[in-house]
Structure 1
Amino acid sequence: MKRYAYYGLFACFGAQMLFSCSGRNFVPGKDFALADMVQTIPVENVMYDSAWNIWCGSLVEGYDGKYHLYYSRWPRESRHESWISHSEIAYAVADRPEGPYQPVNVALGYVDSIRWDGAMAHNPYIIKYDGKYYLYYVGTKGTHMAASERLQPYGTEWWTRRNTQRVGVAVSDNPAGPWKRLDQPVLSNSADTTAFDAMLVSNPAVCVGRDGKFVMLYKAVCKNGMLRGGKVRFSVAFADSPTGPFVKTNKLIFQPEDPNASMVAEDPFVWYDKKCDRYFAIVRDVVRQFTGKESGGLALMESEDAVNWRPAPHPKVLPPVLHWSDGSTYDANKLSFERPFVFFDKDGIPQLLLGTFSVNNNGIRREHSFNGRVPLKITDKKD
């Protein structure tokens, strides 16, 4: 287990109904920060593989009573930046939400060089609805590449592939698959070349909201005459069905204080609390605009309509330093904690925060990466 401590293992979490609109006498985010709920992390609460970079992590309790985890992975030898060309979405199962998880198969992988999502699959986000499972993801177009092959990071072909990112959804009756992909993206870039999402769309987060409407938060990049594109922004779209069509609001959310800033947030997790009749989201606070410098870099946001968002009164989701059960620590402020996803128990209480942490080795940034599961506990403590 010390191996995990050496690599500085850490995790992110995801959940629904964090707030005590459920009859408690305190409200996380209102009365105190969610960061106060973070517990010591058991060193076994990880999805680790020495041969793979592991990113993302999306968890659902199945109709079968088991727990189903979907995560991105790509060969470690291809390096971190090869997510754009090599990523696939893998699937694992467990008897308990905290694990241990047994890898089962590849849910979504390479298909061909023709399909819009044929080259790779990334950023899984799982929901269950009306007896089926819906796996949202990001796909790109391009030829197959072996693990030993590697695009020049941020070179012409790297950016070209990155710019083909679109949002898809695959549907299955069984969490182990097979998965039926749609022939077209469920959300695509705008045809208006001046739009904020004219270059690409990615990073989907989906929930069933008020009146049964499906809500999708997504990341977008605009065109600016350069191959890499311009500003990174977020917006929201709505649908009547989990397979769309998703109708864009074209409303920018999670806006930076500086309108010229390149990027301020990413990696949303979203849910709707029926008892509060309110939407909540956790985002990566890239420049600490919402939570300040002394935080773990995740912010809690709230909204009445999923369109107009503001930071919660106590927006910190993570402390700057996370503690492992073997006594080691992970500096979330320095190394970052990404792709948050909260898992709730049957009573709607947040139980686990899933997420990705990075490992720097031999002078190489993000030489390796892992997913972990952070325990959460609600107490009557207030700030």
Structure 2
Amino acid sequence: MKRVFLFAALCAAVCGSASAQTYCVEAGPAEISVTRRDGRAVVTGEGAFQLPDHFVWGASVIRGDEGRYYMIYSAVPTGKYAFDPGWVLGSKMGLAVSDRPDGGFRHLGFFLNEDGFRPDRSAWDAQTVMNPHVRRFGDKYYLYYVGGVDLGNDRVRSADGTLPLRARVQQSLRIGVIEFETFADLLAGRFERLNGPLLAPRTRVKPNDIVDPSPEGTRPMPDNIIVVNPAVVYRPSDGKYLLYFKGNVYDPAWRGVHGVAIGDSPAGPFVPLDLEVLTIKDGDKRLSAEDPYVWYCARDSCFYAVFKDFTGAFTRSEPCLAVMRSRDGIEWELPERSLFMKKQVVLPSGEVAKVARLERPQLLVDEQGVPLVLYCACAVDEVNGRIDGGSFNVQIPLRSE
């Protein structure tokens, strides 16, 4: 096992638990191999979930009642668009299953936006769906996801009154939820789905090139222009559900910010707070991050969040995955060791494969909230600009000490 990241001491002053101890989480080897063909990486193995003719991206895994593990993932068809803008213009959502949590997943089918890039304005999420996050609360499963649709140029503020299709769809992105009882029901379309989004932006503030702008002088909230990348956790201290999301602000340059909304039910409604969370300052600048996965660790009476650190500022290193912790899910701080994982994957041989992308982290945790497996959208070579695939979801087993 290669020691890749460390949760720092969890002391009473931080988490309110006098019995909390320092412990480490180590990354084991993912069951993949990486070779080169015609100058490009070829990835094979049980620990990489990939599909022909698709860019496979973010995925969330949960254990079903019968003991099998189900993966809900997003995928972008290849051959028409490069990965970007493809993920905006026609991501689909599918289901896979395995008898174990750390590999061997097989595709069962697509169940949301099966038609991919076909233009569709029939619903708020008709054009694209992505970033799945599946949780179980009580006797139901809840799939939180991001969806969007082309809103057209009718309410665009720009120099010529229009915006490109990618910008229009991207600025429509919101969070939805699907309730279901079994994964067979989900695949068959037997689920409860809201007619509208679960959470939508309260403000739309941007200097220019904006769809449906807020009135001049509006102060942007954390849920500005878009709400994406959902993570939902139950707070045992008061029985509330916390929904974390990312929005976009411009002060003056772009910055991804995180907020949190609170609800009495996992299906909402959720009321967003006005404050930013999961953020730190670097002088006069606030730093950007995205893709938080938030969970509650009962063993430590703490919340943790792992997320993509764009620049390495959270970890004082290089771009990677970072970790923060909180006692109440609202006020967050960096632990002494905030590096969760470098942009690399340990191979069965013990070698380390550097990767261009390692993001959209999702975890499988045990009953006490101790991480067991990490799932990440991954690409050995950069996928922006590629039209022929090259991304996959990697399953990385973890060990806690």
TM-score tier, shorter chain, comes to 0.7 to 0.9
**Equivalent residues of 1:283, 1:298 under 8 A apart:** yes
Q: How big is the shift at 1:59?
A: 0.6
Shift in CA distance, 260/48, structure 1 to aligned 2, threshold 3 Å: farther
**Equivalent residues of 2:297, 2:370 under 8 A apart:** no
Give the distance between the partners of 2:283 and 2:177, measured in 1 at CA.
32
Where does residue 79 of structure 1 map in the other structure? 82
Q: How big is the shift at 1:364?
A: 4.4
Q: How big is the shift at 1:319?
A: 3.7
Q: How big is the shift at 1:361?
A: 6.7
Give the distance between the partners of 2:342 and 2:249, measured in 1 at CA.
33
Where does residue 360 of structure 2 map in the other structure? 339
Give the distance between the partners of 1:100 and 1:266, measured in 2 at CA.
28
Give the distance between the partners of 2:254 and 2:53, measured in 1 at CA.
34
Where does residue 397 of structure 2 map in the other structure? 375
1:1-383 aligned within 5 A: 26-28=21-23, 32=24, 34=25, 37-43=26-32, 44-77=46-79, 78-81=81-84, 82-109=86-113, 112-142=120-150, 156-176=164-184, 177=186, 178=189, 179-191=191-203, 193=214, 194-196=219-221, 197-210=223-236, 211-222=238-249, 230-258=254-282, 264-294=288-318, 297-326=320-349, 329-332=352-355, 335-346=356-367, 348-360=369-381, 364=385, 368-379=390-401
Give the distance between the partners of 2:383 and 2:327, measured in 1 at CA.
47
More strand by share: 2
**Equivalent residues of 1:198, 1:223 under 8 A apart:** no
The one-letter code matched in structure 2 to 1:218 is F
Q: Which moved more, 1:322-331 or 1:66-75?
A: 322-331
**CA deviation map 1:227-281 (0-9, x unaligned):** xx94321111111111111011111012242477585210000011234322111
Runs of 5+ unmatched residues, structure 1: 1-11, 144-154
**Equivalent residues of 2:296, 2:369 under 8 A apart:** no
Give the count of matched residue pairs. 341
Give the distance between the partners of 2:114 and 2:142, measured in 1 at CA.
19
Give TM-score scaled by structure 2 length: 0.77
**CA deviation map 1:108-157 (0-9, x unaligned):** 225841211111110000001121111000000139xxxxxxxxxxx721
SS of equivalent to 1:317: strand
Where does residue 37 of structure 2 map in the other structure? none
Shift in CA distance, 378/274, structure 1 to aligned 2, threshold 3 Å: closer
Q: How big is the shift at 1:63?
A: 2.1
Give the distance between the partners of 1:87 and 1:331, measured in 2 at CA.
26
Q: How big is the shift at 1:107?
A: 2.9
Where does residue 6 of structure 1 map in the other structure? none
Q: Kindly report structure 1 stretches of 4+ aligned residues shifted beyond 6 Å.
A: 18-25
* Larger CA Rg, structure 1 vs 2: 2
**Equivalent residues of 1:56, 1:124 under 8 A apart:** yes
SS of equivalent to 2:337: strand
The one-letter code matched in structure 1 to 2:270 is F
Give the distance between the partners of 2:142 and 2:344, measured in 1 at CA.
34
Shift in CA distance, 223/245, structure 1 to aligned 2, threshold 3 Å: farther
Give the distance between the partners of 2:278 and 2:141, measured in 1 at CA.
29
Shift in CA distance, 319/24, structure 1 to aligned 2, threshold 3 Å: farther
Shift in CA distance, 189/260, structure 1 to aligned 2, threshold 3 Å: farther
Q: Which moved more, 1:208-217 or 1:338-347?
A: 338-347
Shift in CA distance, 270/363, structure 1 to aligned 2, threshold 3 Å: closer
Shift in CA distance, 362/109, structure 1 to aligned 2, threshold 3 Å: closer
**Equivalent residues of 2:94, 2:112 under 8 A apart:** yes
The one-letter code matched in structure 2 to 1:198 is N
**CA deviation map 1:330-351 (0-9, x unaligned):** 224xx13101111124564322
**Equivalent residues of 2:229, 2:292 under 8 A apart:** yes
SS of equivalent to 1:280: strand
The one-letter code matched in structure 2 to 1:40 is P
Runs of 5+ unmatched residues, structure 2: 33-45, 152-162, 205-213
The one-letter code matched in structure 2 to 1:341 is Q
